[in-house]
A and B are shown apart, each in its own frame.
Chain A
């Protein structure tokens, strides 16, 4: 149980284009989903928190107009990197917090999406 998927697992795009990453909770409903980015040999950096049906909350320093987050349902959140540039190249990981359940604070992570902007 508690499986989270991400699509695509990797993507290469040209500078200036937009890329959409999907995060799905496969066997549970998630009231809250989190988006992280991770640079090589570094820990996770929280970018934003999204709740189903409401606007995402972005961490300080994260451009909300560049990283568009949509959490349209209890099982799906999307992150769109708009006008991507090489410095946006990173490993993007989503996590989901189950609605209710035995342990309410756990987050379950997707496998990550490797974005490379040329």
Chain B
């Protein structure tokens, strides 16, 4: 069964304290892995798409990497405004009526204290 697991569930960091969020997956044929950021009471905001093992993407203080089993979202010198829930989603190889549904992780709630 296709599955996406994110860890930790919550992460509290001091401002400037770098860390990583994990997204592990077991799917039948990865088409793409997506990272989103969600603020309370808002829809998810797209961050990155990764397609193949070894790929890396960067945006400001965020860097996403991908292996054959997991993805990491590295946060370097975070600021309080980086506080949010970070969601990982995977597009598996099976096309479900060509609708490209995503398999979602439960998210990691990141809190950056000033």
Contact = CB atoms under 8 A, between A and B. Distances in A.
B101 A112 contact: no
Contacts of A112: 41-43
A71 B95 CA distance: 21
Contact of B99 (A6, A44, A57): A57
Given A46-B104, A49-B101, A112-B42, 10 more contacts: A34-B99, A42-B106, A44-B104, A46-B101, A91-B41, A95-B43, A106-B32, A109-B46, A111-B42, A114-B41
A2 interface: yes
Interface of B: 31-32, 34, 36, 41-46, 49, 87, 91, 97, 99-102, 104-107
A32 interface: yes
25 contacts: A2-B46, A4-B43, A32-B100, A34-B99, A43-B105, A46-B101, A46-B102, A49-B97, A49-B101, A57-B97, A91-B41, A104-B100, A105-B31, A105-B91, A106-B34, A107-B46, A107-B102, A109-B36, A109-B45, A109-B46, A111-B42, A111-B43, A112-B41, A112-B42, A112-B43
Interface of A: 2, 4, 6, 32, 34, 42-44, 46, 49, 51, 57, 91, 93, 95, 97, 103-112, 114
Nearest to B48: A106
A5 B101 CA distance: 20
Contacts of B104: 43-44, 46
A43 B106 contact: yes
A89 B36 CA distance: 24
A106 B41 CA distance: 21
Contacts of B31: 105
A26 to B, nearest CB: 14
Residue with the highest number of chain A CB atoms closer than 10 Å, among B42, B43, B45, B91: B43
A106 B43 contact: no
Given A32-B99, A32-B100, A34-B101, A105 B49 contact: yes
